[in-house]
Structure 1
Amino acid sequence: MTFFRAIKNKFEHNQTPNFDSTEEVTINMDKRAIYRNRTNYGVNIGSLFVLESWIYDDIFNEVGGGNTELDAVSNCQAKLNTQETANKLRQHYESYLDKIDWNFLRDRANITSIRVPIGYWHVNNGGFLQGLPFEHLAGVYQNARPWDYLKQLINVAGQNNISVLIDLHGLPGGANDQAHSGAINNPPKFFKTPAYVNKVCDEILPFITRDICSPFENIAGLQIVNETYFDNNANDIKAYYSRAISSISNIDNTLAVVISDGWWSEQWSNWLAENKLESNAVIDTHVYRCFSNEDKGKDAGTIINQLPGSVNLPKDKADFTVGEFSCVLDEETWKRTQGDRNVHISNFGVMQTTIFPKVASFGWYFWTLQFKYGDGGEWGFVPMVSKNNLILRSRNVVPIDQNRVNQIINDHIEYWKGKGNKFEHWRFEDAIRQAVNDIASFNQFNNSRLGRWRSWTLRRRAEYIKAKGDSEFMWEWDQGYQKGLDEFNH
């Protein structure tokens, strides 16, 4: 696959990457390109690999105990042995995978993608654990074979035209202090521990990229961290992001590298722009309205009405994804709320999934797919889809009206008449026709929508300059391509 492959990185792994958008690019519009660049309507495969006891409690309640995967598997190994513990994990992987209803996901939910949280301890079946907190469990994961099950999952997803976002959810030392990191680290230590950062950037991420992301055409991207803690300066986090993006992009420069917004989206959209990394990275933001004291102090209607203003992502600066959200509101909110709870839940889900595709070019992923017991209620994708509480992807391909395209071109020319002595209106026309062709190509593959607007436009722009030269009138190209997206990318 040669899609954008010609861009070459010229920096060492410990430097901040700085990509020149005028370097040679070649866009090969194929299935892999669409998987990597479309707007996603997806769901998280929570607690398949990174175990969370409230979702699947197999290892926790039956033998292991503890609050994290590290505790539960360690306890299980101590009480049983390495092989029996591995067998428990394999049984979990197999039962979880067997329960996935691909017909529902493909035909009823009409999803494009799944986000799969993994831990560093799963990579290559525990092959990179030397010197890391899970090291004593290497034999367990070697025998449990989670990496093999992940590849099986990717294959089946591909058979259903569904992509996979690989999410390195658990980092050694933790990117936050929550149990979903595989171990509780308070304070989190990953970003301030050079040995951990080196291991991830120099060994783990390159392996994932070479072993899974490049070989499988239906990989949407590689997420290098889940939820980063808020940091006003974030120097250590920036250093990790720089190295990780470099490490991955040196191998596969078309792969979306997904970073966390650390609960401050603009901090990271500005950082990407300053370092010319918008073409390489997508920013993950999580939208929950059930955890903060501020949200707990509001009624459901207020939260819903404020969503358009509160989910205000700087989409013109960077590409975003809503990697996690749900239809859950806290009980304190419900105590303040009058009216039918089910109606409010539906309004909440519908509002969220109406807003997200407008501001998050890489789309959204609901948390989460399934539970060992029950359907998860407002945390569960299946019941929320079944009750029509989410706006799903349309199955109707809207044909592009070429008469409307021609009208827009004529309107542009007419507008600028008499406002200057020289223009290059042909650049506007070239751009809008290119946008229309791109949109149509995405639509032809399972009615996909062109996503990663910032990255895609920058790369198309660089390609155009290479073909037809730069100019002081490239603003006309910029306006034309953006007009095409605004008008027809629905």
Structure 2
Amino acid sequence: RLVKDPSTISAAFSHDPVIAAFGSETSTDSDLKDLGEHRISIIESGVADGVRIVFDNQEENLSQMVDASLNAIGSTCCDIEKFHISTLAFLSGCFWSSWMLNLSSMAERSLIVLNQSFHRSHWRHDKWLGANLGGWFLLEPGPASPLFEDCQEMLKSRGEEKASCGCEWSLCSCLDKVEKGVKSEVLRKHRKNHFDASTFKKIADHGLNAVRIPFGYWIVTGPTNADVYDGPALDQLDEAVKMARTCNLQVVLDLHGNPGGENGLRPCGREKQDWTWKEWRQEEALECLRQVVVRYRGFDNVTGIQVCNEPSPAIPSNVLCDFYEESIRVVREAGMSPHDVCIILPIFTQWRIREISRLWLERGNIHRYDNVAWDIHFYHDFHSAWSLLSHEQHVAVLQDEARELTHLHAAMVGEWSASRPGPYPEEEVKDFVMQQVLAYNHSSHGWFFWNWHDYSFYDKWDMENGVIGNGRLPRSLSELKSQSAQRFLSLQDL
């Protein structure tokens, strides 16, 4: 049936609600409408053609034959979809061939992996192509440098010694020394003005379709456990989501700073050298997530919620996965369904991808949870080893990263930049940026550049002026759609 009639592909596995979303062309299921009939027909016909080739041929150049079949699809789907179609084709062919030869164990294995592959190719939203709005609802030097500089000037004007302000915690501590009430006044003004409606319009005008908004838990609940942050400020986060909606931008709400911190570094709000992972107040974090979900579940442009950011490598993988399972439960029970919102779970560095994804698979979570994605941050910086690579080697690493992303059930690149150790030639900068866009665009479910604007103007961390403004990407990213993208993946990578 599979080989003779492409429309029976999903019917063969109709027991699975995710696979059922790939129903026949006459299906009225709302899931089918979400996914798009055109895309479904591409997947079905692509798989069917591949199955015929696998089923009817025993030739050594099988992969090239299926690749040639996929090339006929042209630009109608991106590399990650072609990769999934290839996988589905091979596994379907292997299943039927094994079944006919009475190789039951091989047939069973093919069917299991085939089922997993359907989940990988299942995605409900437009791919995120966006920028981070860091330094707004969680302060860091660089994205929020003017505020840190103003704080030092305030201290100086009062005859106070300059203090070390390298994170939001230390900034708030410094502002507390100035005068009672100053901290709340300064931070409220910053949150009102740092980004505004014109920012969102520029982002949309440049062809991006999404923003990732990092925020600290204190924006939602106010500071707890004697923390010195200032909050809550949900009314101002409301405005951010509304401004994005006005510009037809998707929003990923990113709980960037958990209570107690998911690491001891300034991106989570406080730089603390003696931090240990047991300081992470997970129950508070879950309550914070619940409140966020209840507040924003009615916004149709909120298509992602991230449960934490860059968890420390010191956190045991089983502890991390336990927290992720609880986070999924809280988010879904509070009203953000898998039909509407993707839950994003950070692995952070690629060094932990296999460790955490393997444990997740062993727990059976790939099939247990729908519309869940990993977040990986691919920075070619922060370690001297990167300085040893040539430009060509950096690009080769990008290709490896792209391949690694495709083997996750779903993934996004939540942060990346143009930065590498030391200066490097402008033509290489431009190529490095373009190669990253192609790699992540064709192997993941979305990406977000860090950051939209850097007020210290480190140009390789500034998408608005340093990347787009300097011509390292087209003025409108929609122009990339008309360019023939380099293929990072081929069937021979399977």
Shorter-normalised TM-score: what interval?
A: 0.5 to 0.7
Letter paired with 1:166: L
The answer as to whether partners of 2:261 and 2:279 remain within 8 angstroms in 1 is no
Work out the CA distance in 2 between the residues paired with 1:247 and 1:238. 14
Letter paired with 2:167: T
Aligned to 1:71: 170
Runs of 4+ in 1 over 4 A off after TM superposition: 20-26, 28-36, 395-398
The answer as to whether partners of 1:133 and 1:172 remain within 8 angstroms in 2 is no
Work out the CA distance in 2 between the residues paired with 1:311 and 1:32. 24
CA shift, 1:160, in A, is 0.9
Instruction: Report SS of the residue matched to 1:289.
Output: coil
Aligned match of 1:185 in 272, 288, 291?
A: 272
Deviations 1:203-229 (A, max 9, x none): 2111001101x1111002110111112
The answer as to whether partners of 2:210 and 2:249 remain within 8 angstroms in 1 is yes
Letter paired with 1:43: A
CA shift, 1:356, in A, is 0.4
CA shift, 1:231, in A, is 5.3
| Distance of aligned partners of 1:97 and 1:50 in 2 relative to their CA distance in 1, 3 Å threshold | same
Query: Which runs of 5 or more residues in structure 2 are unaligned?
Result: 1-14, 22-28, 37-121, 153-162, 483-490
Aligned to 1:226: 309
Deviations 1:220-254 (A, max 9, x none): 21101111123595121111111111111222231
The answer as to whether partners of 1:70 and 1:182 remain within 8 angstroms in 2 is yes
CA shift, 1:317, in A, is 3.7
Letter paired with 1:266: R
TM-score normalised over the length of structure 1: 0.66
CA shift, 1:316, in A, is 4.2
Deviations 1:386-421 (A, max 9, x none): 3342376436999xxxxxxxxxxxxxxxxxxxxxxx
Work out the CA distance in 2 between the residues paired with 1:58 and 1:394. 32
Work out the CA distance in 1 between the residues paired with 2:391 and 2:185. 45
CA shift, 1:183, in A, is 0.7
Instruction: Report SS of the residue matched to 1:47.
Output: coil
Work out the CA distance in 2 between the residues paired with 1:356 and 1:389. 16
Aligned to 1:148: 235
Work out the CA distance in 1 between the residues paired with 2:470 and 2:246. 27
Aligned to 2:453: 370
| Distance of aligned partners of 1:267 and 1:232 in 2 relative to their CA distance in 1, 3 Å threshold | farther
Instruction: Report SS of the residue matched to 1:226.
Output: coil
Which fold has the larger relative contact order, with Cα–Cα distance below 8 Å and residues 6 or more apart in sequence?
Answer: 1
The answer as to whether partners of 1:35 and 1:218 remain within 8 angstroms in 2 is no
Larger mean CA deviation between 268-277 and 85-94 belongs to 268-277
CA shift, 1:354, in A, is 0.5
CA shift, 1:321, in A, is 0.6
Q: CA RMSD in A?
A: 3.0
CA shift, 1:304, in A, is 2.4
Do residues 120 (structure 1) and 217 (structure 2) align? yes
CA shift, 1:353, in A, is 0.3
Aligned to 1:326: 417
Do residues 261 (structure 1) and 360 (structure 2) align? no
Aligned to 1:435: none
Aligned match of 2:291 in 183, 207, 210?
A: 207
Aligned match of 2:129 in 29, 38, 41?
A: 41
The answer as to whether partners of 1:167 and 1:224 remain within 8 angstroms in 2 is yes
CA shift, 1:171, in A, is 1.2
CA shift, 1:262, in A, is 3.8
Do residues 357 (structure 1) and 455 (structure 2) align? no
Work out the CA distance in 1 between the residues paired with 2:16 and 2:471. 42
Work out the CA distance in 1 between the residues paired with 2:242 and 2:124. 16
The answer as to whether partners of 2:384 and 2:421 remain within 8 angstroms in 1 is no
Letter paired with 2:216: G
Query: Which runs of 5 or more residues in structure 1 are unaligned?
Result: 1-19, 399-482, 484-490
For residues 51-450 of structure 1, the aligned pairs below 5 Å read 51-63=139-151, 65=163, 66-82=165-181, 84-98=182-196, 100-107=198-205, 109-124=206-221, 126=222, 129-130=223-224, 132-134=225-227, 136-137=228-229, 140-142=230-232, 146-190=233-277, 192-193=278-279, 196-201=281-286, 203-212=287-296, 214-230=297-313, 233-251=316-334, 252-254=336-338, 255-263=341-349, 264-273=352-361, 274-275=364-365, 276-277=367-368, 279-331=370-422, 334=423, 341-361=425-445, 363-372=446-455, 374=457, 376-383=458-465, 384-390=467-473, 393-394=477-478
Instruction: Count how many residue pairs are aligned between Structure 1 and Structure 2.
Output: 355
CA shift, 1:261, in A, is 1.1
The answer as to whether partners of 1:113 and 1:162 remain within 8 angstroms in 2 is yes
Aligned to 2:106: none
Aligned match of 2:138 in 50, 65, 68?
A: 50
The answer as to whether partners of 2:220 and 2:231 remain within 8 angstroms in 1 is no
The answer as to whether partners of 2:434 and 2:473 remain within 8 angstroms in 1 is yes
CA shift, 1:86, in A, is 1.1
Letter paired with 1:116: I
Deviations 1:255-302 (A, max 9, x none): 211111142223333344332345242100001112122212223332
